[in-house]
Every structure is written in C-alpha cells, then in structure tokens.
Structure 1
Amino acid sequence: MDRTTHTTDETRDGLIVLVTDSRAEDRLKLLSERLGERTGYRIRSMPVDDLEDAFDRWCPDGFVLTIDRSDRLRELIDRVRSRAVGTPIVVAPQRGSEELATTAFRANASEYAPLERDGAADRIAEAIRSRETEIRGRDDEFRHILADELPDEAFIIGEDGTYFEAKVRPEAEDLYTISSDELPGLTLSDCFPDDTAASLQKCIDRTLRTEEVRSIEYDLEASGEWRRFEARVVPLEERVEGQRAVVWLARDITDRAKRERELRSRQAQLETLNRINAVVRQVIETLVEAPARNAIEREVCNQLVDSELYCGSWIAERAGNGSLAYRTGAGDATTYLERARTEEFTAECPFQRAARTGTVQTVTHILERQPLPDPLQAAAREDDVRAAIAVPICHDDATYGVLSVLASRPDAFSDSEKDGFELLGETIGFTIMAVKNRQLLFADTIVELEFRIDGGETFSFDLSEEYDCTCSLEWAGTTVEGRTYQFVTVAGLDGETVMEEARAHDSVEECRLIHDRIERCTIEMRLCESGVRTLTNYGVTIRDVTVEDGIGTCRIEVPQDADIRELADALAGIYENTELVARREVDREVRTAAERRNRILDELTERQLSTLRLAYYGGFFDWPRESTGEEIAAAMDVSPPTMHQHLRKGLKTILGEFFESGGATTE
C-alpha cells in the first residue's frame, strides 16, 4: 500500500498514526476525518511496512492499528510499545472477533474498538486523549473488551477456582439459578457437579502452567435442561487478589452440538448403509452360481451374519396349513433360531405378515415394545435381539418364503436399508424360479400333473360357458416390462364376437385379433391376472390348457422334487375350485443337438433351405442389411413374393421346433 496522508488541520498540535494492512481507503479517510474532529490532532495513515518512518520522523500521540490478523497484531503491538513507550495503542480492526479481542486484551492495548461498531471513532479519540496506556486498570480493560466481544458468559477465575468477576449477557441471565452478581466469591465446586468442576479446574491448571490459551467443552443445567458450552481460557499476566488468574470466555453451543451429533449420526448411518449395500451386492453375486434352492438359502443366511451387521438370519417357507416352516438359518442368536425352528407360529407376527401381504415388515426396539410372540420375545431378550426385518422371497405373483434378519441395533433397518433387503428378496425369488426351471429343463424324468378347474371367473371360462365354444391356450408369458400376454385359439365362434366379448370383460386389459376363420379364431390378450402366469413363476412347464363348457383342464410338467401342494395352493389362489386329478411320471426323450438339427432339416423343403442359406450368408438378417429381398430373389431366379413365402415357411419350421418342442406355454 502506498503511503497516504489525511490531514484535517496541519497547524494543530498532536499526531495520531493509523497503521493498516488494508486498502479500504474510503473507510480510513472517514475515520481520519472523525478522529481529527474529535481530538483536534493531525491524522496520518501508513502501511505496516512503513511504520519505522513514524518512529524516526515523529513522536505520535497515539497509534491506531486497523489490523485484522491476530498473529500480526500481537507482533505489531510489541513493536509499537518498544519504540513508543507509554503511547496509547488502540486496536481497531475492520470487523471484530473474539480472537482479536483476546489478543488486544493480553497485549494490554489501550482500547479495542472495531470500526464496524457504532461509536468506534469516539472511543478511539477518548483512549488517545486519556494517555493511560500502561496505567489503565484491569477492571476497565476487562469491561471494555468483554463488552464488545462477550460471547455469552465471561469470568475472571483464580487459580483455586474462585470467581472474582462475572459478566453474562442480559438475554442469557434468566437461564441460570445463580446470577452474575452472586458469582464473585463462589468457587467452581459451588456451581458445578463434582466431576464437571474437577474437569474445569484441570483446564485452568493447564492454562496457567503452559501460559497458552486453551479450550474446553462442558455441560450445564439451565432452566431445567442441559446445555452445552465451549470456553476459551486465557491466562492473565497480572495477579488478581494475590492469585494467578484466567479470563474465562464461554459460548452456548447447544444448537451447534446438536447439529454435530445429527451429522455424526447421519454419517454413521451412511457408513452402515454402504456396508449393508455391499453385503447385499455380494449375496446377489453369489446367487448366480447357486446350484439348488437349499444352497441359495444357506449361502444368503451365512453371508448376512458373516458381515457382523446382523446377529441372526433364517428362511422359512409356507407350510400346508398356512403357517411358516423353518428351512435354514445362521448366526449367534442361537436361542432365537432354535425357537423359530421348533415352534409353529400362526399368530400375526412380522414374518407371517410379510408372507401374507408380500411386503417387507420391520420391528425395532423389540425389548422395549415386545412385538413378538412370547417364545420369540423371550429368546430375543436372551440373545439381545433388538430389531428384525421380514422380507418376502417372491417373484411376480409367486411367494416362495420369508427371509428374517435379526440385529442387535435397536434402530436398525431404516428405509434405505429396507429398500436393499426388498431387492434382495426379489433377487432370491428370481434365482429360485430360475433354478426350478433349470432343474425341469435338464431332468430326464419329470412329473406331469393334471388339474381340473371348475367355474373360473376369467375370460376363457365365461366365453366357453356362454357360447358353448372351446378355448385352447397357445402360449402365455410375461414381457420384460411385466405385462402378461396370452394367445388363445377359440373353436366354435367367430372372431368378431370373441373380440366384442374380450373388450367388455374385466380381466382383459388389451386384445387383438390374430387369425379369423370360419368358426375359429386366435386372439392376443393382455390380462390383469393370470393363473398361467402364476404357475410359470413356480418353474413349471405348461403343456396344455383347455376350457370347455366352463370347465378347465390344465396339464403341467414339474421336477420330481416339486412341492405339489404349493402349486395347488397357488393355482387355487386364482381359481377357487381347483382339483388335482392326475399325477404321472414321464421319461423325457433325450435328443441331442445333432438329432434336433437333422429333424429340422428333414422338415424343410429344398427351396426353403436354399432360401434360408442365401439369406443368412448374404447378410439379409444383418442390420443394416447387406442384401435386400429383391437381391436374394434374383439369386434364386424367383419373384420377391415367392422368396419371402419360402423364407417365412422355413423360419416357422425352425421356430416351431424350438417353441413347440420346448414347451409351448413357458415364459
């Protein structure tokens, strides 16, 4: 900063030097004018680096330090005092702070007057005129500085813990049972519990021993509630009533402490959630390679408890009487797991609700609320189980069982944690369904079941009963978006009538006519609810579904170890009057890939095979196409319509071998 001189009247006696490290020229000019008016002195301002010129050229009557850094301020005060003994020194930063005020007080500045405060110029002028730099009494310094920078409480406390002086902001005075006027003469032991008083006394001892400013946090009961305070303890150079002493500046940080606790809590929850998500991801990854349902369930339970986030995990499946039967479990909550394995629970407990509603259920603070059946409640107390979550294991409409996880954390299973477990339950359900399908696909011997369904309320039942027609299922399945479609052939009724009835039926969301011949048609339907879809979710192959005169016949194939009661119950959930009328073991014909290829070749004509080869090797099926239909037709020396006819017939033969032989109604 260039040297700048503001002179109010060069003929006046006396000189005040403004020392600054700021470039706030307008503010300094205004301060110079006000100081000149109030003191009658000349005013000169200069940067810190030019301060030595002031000592060499003049004998100032006072120094005003507009410094905003406490470390530089103390050094500057010492420099001024060493070169101008007895000259008033006023600390006047642009903005005040507790740190600057403490530095000014410890360095025995004449005055502390932040420029942002009203009346700063008057106080500076008064300090300069009084010339009481080194002889100002301790009481005046204390009152002036603390009046400006008092946080909430300020005290002078002796080395033996005795209060000598106290000052409390008026708005905080009503919080305390002892007023600031009553504190002098009392000790820390008179005002605080023994353990708190001892801790505060140790802080005073360390402050005086090291002669350094120290900080401490402590709790104090005020107006019937506990509040948190932070204190800065500043050693005094002078003795007070013969004792060494400190200035104790305290601030009420209750709100800040609360926010910090909440932040730590949220951070801990986030860390826990990250660990939980990592466990869930790891479990899901292992499911891909699980060979069987038992292995899937055992691996899930083991990995959950190995994470050390949970003290127990177990899986139950639905039993025939509507209760849940224990399948497998793991963890240190051995008493709880033994109760779950041996007891039969039909009451409305969390895992029963999860199975019934298909939604995740949680209970927290188990030991305080006692939400479990008596045997499990007693076991939870013995094993210190404080929270539990019950997760339905399901895929689409099929519920295979319930995963129950136990935790020693009373507030476990937040909403985010529940979302992770919900995904885990769906993934386990999907994997179980895939395993069932895989077992059925590779089984040499399968079981064929035939069900009779009397009086269903779906479209096919109502149509066959009203029009005396026969409805046969060609294919049913679910798209990746979860929409269920059926292709149904209706014999004995025209397509127009079938479409009218389908559009008016409550179970049909969308419909489209595919084929329409005399007294026979095929339609595509999107259904709200489907028993066929329910069965496929249990890993079965549907061979035939026919509805005639309001009576349905359903033939399905299942693995030898399939739970037939489970399938019957699932089907009865859609069609009330369901009866298993036949059960047959069937040896499946084993056909190699070569045999299947030869079968397809036998069914293709030479024209169809030639067309398929020219189209395949000519890039007709690539995108973008390497050859057009016209180019393939030219190579065959036939017209394009003829080429497309051969191509479609050939493709239908190949796809028919794949779909019809593999199960016409599987997903």
Structure 2
Amino acid sequence: MTRDSYGQPIVLVCGADTRESRLAGSLEAAADRPVRAIAAARLADALETVDGAESREVPGNGDSSASAAGDPDADGGLPRPAAVVLETDDRSELRTLLERVRDAADAPAIAAPPAGSEPLAAAAVRADADEYAPVDRDDAVDRILEAAADGTDRDGTDGERDYHQILANELPDEAFVIGEDGTYLDAQIRPDAAELYTVSSDDLIGRRLEDAFPDDTVAKLRGCMDRAFETETIQSVEYEAETTEGWRRFEARVVPIDERIDGQRAVVWLARDITERAKRERELRSRQARLERLNRINAVIRDAIETLVQAPTRDAIEQQVCEQLVDSELYCGALIVERAADDTLAYRIGAGDATAYMAHSRDVDAAEHCSVTRAAETGETQITDHILETEPLPDDLQEAAREDDVRATIAVPITYEDATYGVLSVLASRTDAFTDSEAAAFELLGETIGFTIMAVKNRQLLLADTVVELEFRIDGGETFSFDLSEAYDCTCSLEWVGTSSRGKTFQFVTVDGLDGETVLEEAQAHDSIEECRLIHDGTSQCTIEMRLAESGVRTLANHGATIRDVAVNDGVGTCLVEVSQDANVREIADALSVIYENTELVARREVDRPVRTAAERRNRILDELTERQLTTLRVAYYAGFFDWPRESTGEEIAEAMDVTPPTMHQHLRKGMKTILNEFFEEGDWTPEEL
C-alpha cells in the first residue's frame, strides 16, 4: 500500500473498551485509510498531540486496524485526522465531544450513535456536527467515508453551513431553519410528505411565518421560539397547518442554534405530522371519558335502585330518582309523566335546572310530546340527540330547550311486565349523552322503578283498611276457560295464579260439570295453553294446572290488583278484584281490555276490611286443628323434620308418637292443610306474596 493510500487517519471515538465498538470493524474493512480507535475519555489528550502535517505515515507493517493504533502517543502524536467519528448515544457527551473536536481539530466531526433518534439529531445540529450517520443505518459507513474524503469547510461566515443532511436524515416529515424574525432560512421536506404542501420547500425559503399561518398560530410558534432562545434548550409545540388534505396537526422540536445565521439568531424546526396519533389520542380520551361517565351513571342508577326499596310511596320513589339523577351533575333535568284518565300525558314530578323545559312539559299534550309519547305508546326507550342543531321538537318546547341548553333527552318507559306506569324523561346539556350502554342502564332503572311501584301498590292494598272492589264482566274470550265453558256448559273457577322463574304464567283452575279426562284433552289441544296436567280428577269435577302464553288474570296482578274471584260460565266471565283507593281504575280496565276485547266494568264499591290480629288468626287455626294433628306438627317441628337436611325421619317421628308411619303422615298432612288453608283460602294475600 502506498504512502498516499494511508492518508490522514479516521479517528473513532467510542467507549472505554474500544473492542466493543460496533462501527470499528466495518469501517476498517471499507476505509482506504487508517482507522484509529480511542476511548472518549482520552479524546482531549489525543487532540493536544495533533501535529500540523498534512499526513503522517503510521509505523508498522501496514496494519491499519483500530486496535493496532489505539494509543495516540505510541508514535509521538496523532496525525491530523481526516475525520473524527463520535460513536456515543449520550446527548450530553455527544455535544461535549463535538465542541472539543470543533475547537481543537481542523477536521469534520461526525456523530455516529449506535441508533438514530430525533433528540440525538437535534444535539448534533446544535453542536455543529458536519455529518450525522447512525450506525444502525445501512449507509452509515459510506457517509462517514464520504465526509472524511471531501472534508467540510469550517471557515464559513456567520455560521453558514450545510444543515441539509442532518436535517433530512432523521426527521419524519419536515425540517426548517427559521430566523429570529420568523423568516425561513432553509427548508427540507421528505418526499413522501411533500405532496401535502401547497408550497415547495425551495419556494418557502425567504417567506415568513405570517405567510404560512394564521395570526393566532404565529403567536404560538413565536412564543415557542422565544422560549428556546431564552432558555437555550430544546422546546416542543403542537400546532395545526393547512395542507392539500385539509388541516393537519404537527408536533415540532425547536432547537436553538449557537451560531448566528445571516446575522441573526435561528432555530432548527424539526416537525412531525401527528394527525393520526392525535386522532387516536382523542379517541382514547373519548373512550376513557365515556367509560368514566358510564361508571358514574351506573353508580347513580345503583344508588337510586338501592333507595327505591325504602321509599314508602310512589311519589317518594319518583322524587328520589329525579333528584339523584340531577344531583350527579350529569344531567340538567329529570321528570316523570304518566298517562292520565283522558289519555293525555300528565306531569307528575321533576327536578333540575331546566325549569323552562319542565314547565312547558306540564302543558304539552300527548300528541305533541314527541319522544315521551312514543315511549309511552311503544314501551320502547326513545333518544333525541342534537336538539339545538336539528330542532326536532314542537316550536314552544324547542324554544324551552334552547333557553335551558337541553341538547339531548332520553325517554324511558316505567314498566313492570305488561304494566306501564309512566315515562322517565332525562335531559342533558351535552350531545351524544345517551349511548347504547347508558340507554341499557336507564332501561334497567325504568324496570326497577316499575317493579317498586307495583310492590308499593300491593303493600298499600295489603295494609289498607278500606279497599275498592271492582267487578268486571267479560263477554267471550279466546282463552281456554271461555271456550270450554261454552262448548260443555260447565263452570271454570280460578283457584290461584302465579309466575314461574322464567316468567310464564300458570293457573290452577277447577272445572265443575265435566270429567278430568275430557278437560285434559281439550286443554292439550288449545292454542292458549303451552303445558298442562291434571291435578284432581272426578266424574263431574276436576282441577287442572295450566301454563299460559298470556293471561288477563296476570295482567290485573301486575297493575296492583288482588284477585278475589274469577269464574267463567257459558262463555261469560265474572272477575272480582280489589285495588287501593288511589288506583287508576281506567288504566286497569284498559289493560284487561287488551286481553279480553269485550270487557265492562259493572260495579265499583268501597269495602271495609275486617281487622284481624295475629293472635286471632292463631287462635282460629288452633280451633280447627285436632289434638292429634297439633301433637304431630309439634313433634315434627321440634324433632327437625322440616329442617334441611332433616334431623329426623318420618319413621322416627311415628316411633316417638307410638303410631304407624302412615298414620303419622295422615295427621301431619291434615294439620298442614288446615294451616295453609287459613292463608291461601281465607287470608288477604296477593299472588306475589304467596
């Protein structure tokens, strides 16, 4: 190898152990000049030994390896380097090393971190690096060798030099050099982002920030530049810019430059298009906000449900719900309406700051009340959104919504099974206030309010001294009892009605004047009966259990009525029920008419209930039990026969009484039937309580 082929060496500055350098091997293999590796800690000493010769032959046998030339003092000094390569990923160390090279060596300074990053690129620009070549880039070695071969003119005026390679190398979208007066001094835009810009990078040079941005954005950007100048640190700012695809959001790192350019201070403006990231962040924040709001809504509804069970009256139930919804600060108003006797919607109760809207709701009739009317008629939740923009309400109500800033409403039916007690309307001052999840939570609240109202009605009826007795006449129906009585001239009497765990209605019906086999055959063939079985069979009387698809008897119970007697004879039914004194009789009659079209209320009378104390009831039961029945019940009770699992068997009870097991069971069943008869046949109980 000739003397010229060695030339000036490339000095590689790396960690304490030069053997761990990732760059040394590839650089040695590609370079046509020596590569001398030294530790960063020894750079200052090495630079002091640099002689002024244009070149200096390296002693030895032609070995140009970094390990062979690791000691700058081994040959009496360090020749003037062709380039100094700084292999470090510490920004502070990088800036320090670059400053030492700039001050002590007339050679290009190349930043070569193990992996590239925007902060390292910014540090390289600030410290006046001549090249930026991250080791993890495929062209790192080529760029280092090119810089070493060409050199860099470091004697320019007013800090003018070529920033292009460093700026364009690391930044994702755009890079500018902007003077303190807001003038673009240099501009680099990546090719894949250039199509977004209405002005090319070359045309942008010489223009000012005011030519590219609105005044408020210019003030924001200049403020960021001022902070960078004052603190001499990198600053960040987010802003929007108009592009060929509309407004997009950018994030910029603003790096102050130590040297002046064209006589003024300047910054390197490194910008990244973060439109998609900002969109994802907004969506994430929106989802988080919706989740937090839904949690708050669920908490409010849960609290409302917990307090419902303690409310003594329907008014108290509805007042508590409305107040709790408004107190949550999620809603500006809540009100409850019900369908009155004249088929209009009547305002019952409300709470909140939307006073104009709720006051107007008192006067709006059923035909005008939009979502509330639809909810009452269909039994389905109705949501009205963007009220102020779309103006979907009647004029007067729309004006009230504008006055109270009501932007969205939800109307939730208050129901229990097939009974609708009213509609809960909730008002919000934000659009999109009621998502599907929130609507589901409100539907649960509506059902819970309905159940609680039904329970209150039943409790009031049970404890009332005076009740209202209603007698209905039903001329014909499409149910089994009507068809059977008309076909066989028999009488069907209801014994009891209940509901299974799956919500199916079942009834126990006694048929007089017909044998059980015929009744069972007719029941199995009838469309209104899903299942049936014969309980008691006789030649002229039987009892059958039936599971029905729908039942007028169950409808009455859902509206808070206690059924006293139901009988069907020759296709005509008579139904006797008791309701509380404040019950909506028309609502009950209308509900029954849905099942039986020809329904007529033939009598309405107030009935005083006899007051029967617990002691009187107990004495009556004791009077009807025989001594043997009472003894059997007591022995079985105290011996744990009714416990689960049983403490004593029937045989052990019989042995204790000195009777046979069949005799013991006979006394036990008769005694239990006497007690149960007092409750089921004579007591004032509703189906829900039995």
Mapped to 2, the partners of 1:121 and 1:288 lie a distance apart of: 79
Task: Provide, for residues 51-106 of structure 1, a one-character-per-residue CA deviation record: whole Å limited to 9, x for no partner.
Answer: 78856667384554433343443345457778x64455432233211111111222
User: What's 1:567 paired with?
Assistant: 588
* Structure 1 residue 424 corresponds to structure 2 residue 424: no
1:326-405 correspondence runs (5 A): 326-347=347-368, 349-405=370-426
Give the 5 Å matches for 1:151-162. Answer: 151-162=172-183
> Which residue of the other structure, out of 163, 173, 176, is the alignment partner of 1:142?
163
Q: Kindly indicate whether the alpha-carbon contact (under 8 Å) linking 1:403 and 1:425 is maintained by their aligned counterparts in 2.
A: yes
Instruction: Measure how far apart 1:130 and its partner are.
Output: 4.8
TM-score relative to the length of structure 2: 0.88
Distance 1:21 1:445, change over 3 A: farther
Deviation at 1:136, TM superposition (A): 8.4
C-alpha distance in 2, partners of 1:301/1:561? 22
Deviation of residue 571 (structure 1)?
0.9
Structure 2 CA distance for partners of 1:136 and 1:90, relative to 1, 3 Å: farther
Q: 1:59 aligns with which of 69, 78, 81?
A: 78
Shift in Å at residue 375 of structure 1?
3.0
The aligned runs of 1:26-65 (5 Å cut-off) are: 28=22, 31-43=23-35, 59=78, 61=81, 63-65=84-86
Three-state SS of the structure 1 residue aligned to 2:574 is: strand
Q: Contact conserved, 1:87 with 1:133, CA < 8 A, in 2?
A: no
Q: CA deviation at 1:502?
A: 2.0
- Change in CA separation of 1:287 and 1:47 when aligned onto 2, cut-off 3 Å: farther
User: For residue 118 of structure 1, what is the aligned residue in structure 2?
Assistant: 138
For residues 12 and 239 of structure 1, what CA distance do their matches in structure 2 show?
34
Q: The residue matched to 1:620 in structure 2 has which SS?
A: coil
- Please tell me whether the aligned partners of residues 21 and 66 of structure 1 are also in contact (alpha carbons under 8 angstroms): no
Distance in 2 between residues matched to 1:66 and 1:633, nearest whole Å: 100
> Could you say which residue in structure 1 is the equivalent of 2:485?
464
Listed one character per residue, the Cα deviations across residues 486-519 of structure 1 (whole Å, up to 9, x for unaligned) are 1111222222322222222222122222222223
**Structure 2 counterparts to residues 637-656 of structure 1, below 5 A:** 637-656=658-677
Give the match for residue 5 of structure 1.
none
User: What is the percentage of aligned positions where both structures have the same residue?
Assistant: 66
How much does 1:401 deviate?
Answer: 0.9
| Aligned counterparts of 1:176 and 1:434: Cα–Cα separation in 2 | 69
Name the aligned partner's letter for residue 27 of structure 2. L
Partner of residue 287, structure 2: 266
Deviation at 1:154, TM superposition (A): 0.9
1:392–1:399 Cα contact (<8 Å) kept: yes
Root mean square deviation of aligned Cα = 2.7
Q: CA separation of 1:131/1:365 partners in 2, compared to 1, >3 Å: closer, same or farther? A: closer
- Aligned partner of 1:8 in structure 2 is none
**C-alpha distance 534-12 of structure 1, shift in aligned 2 (>3 A):** same
Alpha-carbon separation, structure 1, partners of 2:501 and 2:274: 56
**What's the secondary structure of 2:595's corresponding residue?**
coil
Residue aligning to 1:17: 12
Partner of 1:592: 613
Aligned pair count reads: 653
One-letter amino acid of the structure 2 residue matched with residue 378 of structure 1: E
CA contact (8 A) 1:475 1:665 kept: no
SS of structure 2 residue aligned to 1:456: coil
SS at match of 1:241: coil
Q: Is the 8 A contact 1:545 1:555 kept in 2?
A: yes
In the other structure, the counterpart of 2:113 is 93
Q: Structure 2: any 5+ residue segments left out of the alignment?
A: 1-5, 46-69
Q: Is the 8 A contact 1:279 1:307 kept in 2?
A: yes
What amino acid is aligned across from residue 78 of structure 2 in structure 1? C
Relative to 1, partners in 2 of residues 1:471 and 1:54: Cα closer, same or farther, differing over 3 Å?
farther
Q: Distance in 2 between matches of 1:258 and 1:147?
A: 26
Counterpart of 2:208 in structure 1 is: 187
Alignment of 1:202-351 (within 5 A): 202-223=223-244, 225-347=246-368, 349-351=370-372
Q: Which deviates the most, 136-145 or 528-537?
A: 136-145
Cα 1:185–1:109, aligned 2, differ >3 Å: closer, same or farther?
Answer: closer
1:228 deviation in Å? 0.9
Tell me, yes or no, if the aligned pair for 1:111 and 1:141 is still in contact at 8 Å.
no
Query: Given residue 426 of structure 2, which amino acid in structure 1 is its aligned partner?
Result: V
Task: Give the superposition deviation at 1:121.
Answer: 1.3
Distance of 2:436 and 2:611 partners within structure 1: 50
Q: Which amino acid in 1 is paired with 2:24?
A: S
Counterpart secondary structure, 1:579: strand
CA offsets 1:106-140 (integer angstroms, 9 cap, x no match): 22334211222222111122334455495589666
TM-score using structure 1 length: 0.91
TM-superposed CA distance for 1:665, in Å, is 6.2
Task: Write the distance in 1 (CA, Å) between the matches of 2:407 and 2:629.
Answer: 70
Within the candidate set 538, 542, 546, 1:525 is matched to: 546
